[in-house]
Amino acid sequence: MDQDDIEMEIDGEDSLDIHVVTPGEVVTRDSAFMRGHGTYTEDETLVASLAGVVDRVNKLISIKPLRTRYNGEIGDVVVGRITEVAQKRWKVDMNARQDGVLLLSSVNLPGGVQRRKNESDELQMRTFFAEGDMLSAEVQAFFQDGAASLHTRSIKYGKLRNGSLVTVPSALIKRTKSHFVTLPCGVDVILGLNGYIWVAKHVPISPEQANQPDALYHNDNEPIADQEREIIARVSNTILALAKHNNFINDTMIVYAYEAGSSHRVKDILKPDISQEIVQTARAQFQEAQQH
């Protein structure tokens, strides 16, 4: 069980040579290594505290668990739901270890609304975000207790409309260049790194509109045609199918899986045999593309 020799694999990703450890297992006795996430030191040895794959980057050893709650990093794009309106701040459910915090000072107030004292009272704050509202935001910092501090200070962030929420395990969302994607089928997808994904009708916002008091925080949906609704539902189900089979999720995979499922009815995509077929086809396509 305990290994006296160091068995380090380079890049634990390779499915043939992954080094799996379980809690309490000695990872290495070489004191030259530094302890990273998922390990602890006991005497001179480095011990695992999680079940997962050993990941070594230079002298830092950490354990990557295969399933865990979202633990963010600064700069992460997240999607969340307002749970509470408090003094000069909102609390946001991000499916993380704690609710995130959105400070009043971290949101865009439309031009023309002056920062007077009374705007911080709760009634006024609810004209921006109220309990239940969905929003996209970026992690700007962390509080000492680990809670994320969010901001929506760019035009691409803010209140979400015209669509619906899909929830997947956060471990399946990979960090990419852009988490705001418009799919070829005409649907917008916001891939929150916390596992919340917003799928909606593509509605462009112009910079002029950004300054209208109503534009940012209104709650009205655009008119949505039946066909658009169907496509939104199809994309939602496709994402859920990928998640069910533990496949990572990014725009490319969604497109492959969408195409693979196009011959099926929207509501059938989640049936076990159909979703399996769709995911396998998409995976094969992905692997083929990788080789070119």
Partner 1 sequence: MAARLEIVSPEGLRVDGRRPAEVRRVLTRTGVLSQADGSAYIEQGNTKCLAAVYGPREPVKRAGVLHDRATINVEYNVSSFSSGERRAKLRRDRKLLEIGLMIKQTFETVVATTSFPRSEIDIYLQILQTDGGAVHTAINAATLALIDAGIPMTDYVCACSAGFVNDQAILDLNFLEESADVPTLTVALLPKSGKISMLGLESRLHIDKLEPVIALASDGCMQMKDTLDEAIRISTRNLAKTVLH
Partner 2 sequence: MISVSERDYITKGVDRSVRADGRARLDFRDLNLETGMITQASGSCRVTLEGGTDVLVGVKVEVGSIEPDAEAAADADDIDDDGGARTAGGGGPGTDDTTGSSGGGTHARNRGRISCTVACSPSATRVFDPRDVESMCNEYSQLLNRVLNSAHGGVDLAALCIVPGSTCWVLNVDALVLDYGGGLLDAIFAATRGALHNTRIPRATVEQTDGRVEFEIEDEETEIVAGWEDVPLTVSMSKIGYRHIVDPTPLEELCSSARLTVAVNRRGNLCALQKGGEGGIEPSLLAEMVQTAKQLGQTLLSRHDTLLAAEARRIAKGVDPTGFR
Smallest gap from Cβ 78 to partner 1, in A, equals 15
Using the rule CB under 8 A, is 67 a contact of partner 2? no
- For partner 2, the binding residue among 56, 91, 179, 234 (CB under 8 A) is 234
The one-letter amino acid at 152 = T
Stretch that binds partner 2, among 33-41, 108-116, 184-192, 224-232 (CB under 8 A): 224-232
Dihedral of the CA atoms 200, 202, 203, 207 (nearest 10)?
110
- The alpha carbon dihedral of 134, 172, 181, 226 has a sign of negative
Residue 221's binding partner out of partner 1, partner 2, none, with CB under 5 to 8 Å set by partner kind = partner 2
Rounded Cα gap, residues 175 and 192, in angstroms: 10
Which residues within the stretch 181-220 sit at the binding site for partner 1 (CB under 8 A)? none
Structure tokens at 257: 């899986």
CA distances from 202 to 154, 183, 221, 235 (A): 18, 9, 11, 13
Stretch that binds partner 1, among 62-70, 74-82, 175-183, 267-275 (CB under 8 A): 62-70
- For partner 2, the binding residue among 55, 76, 99, 133 (CB under 8 A) is 133
Q: Is 189 helix (H, G, I), strand (E, B) or coil?
A: strand
Using the rule CB under 8 A, is 93 a contact of partner 1? yes
Query: Which residue's CB is nearer to partner 1, number 103 or number 155?
Result: 103
Site string for partner 1, 215-254 (x = CB under 8 A): ------------------------------xxxx------
Smallest gap from Cβ 49 to partner 1, in A, equals 4
Residue 220's binding partner out of partner 1, partner 2, none, with CB under 5 to 8 Å set by partner kind = partner 2
In the chain, at which residue ranges do the beta strands (DSSP E only) sit? 20-21, 26-28, 34-35, 39-42, 45-48, 52-57, 60-65, 77-86, 89-93, 100-103, 134-142, 148-151, 158-159, 163-167, 180-182, 187-191, 196-201
Rounded Cα gap, residues 80 and 183, in angstroms: 22
- The alpha carbon dihedral of 78, 79, 83, 84 has a sign of positive
Q: For residue 44, what is the DSSP state?
A: T
Which residues within the stretch 152-181 sit at the binding site for partner 2 (CB under 8 A)? 159-165
Q: For residue 221, what is the DSSP state?
A: P
Using the rule CB under 8 A, is 83 a contact of partner 2? yes
Smallest gap from Cβ 81 to partner 2, in A, equals 6
Residue 71 CA, chain-centre distance (Å), reads 10
Of 240, 250, 230, 236, which is closest to residue 275 (Cα–Cα)?
240
- For partner 1, the binding residue among 46, 53, 137, 257 (CB under 8 A) is 53
Residue 122 CA, chain-centre distance (Å), reads 29
Contacts to partner 2 by CB under 8 A? 81, 83, 93, 130-134, 159-165, 219-221, 224, 226, 229-230, 232-234, 236-237, 265-267, 269-271
Contacts to partner 1 by CB under 8 A? 1, 12-13, 15, 18, 20, 22-24, 38, 40, 47, 49-53, 65-69, 83, 93, 96-99, 145-147, 171-172, 174, 245-248, 283, 286
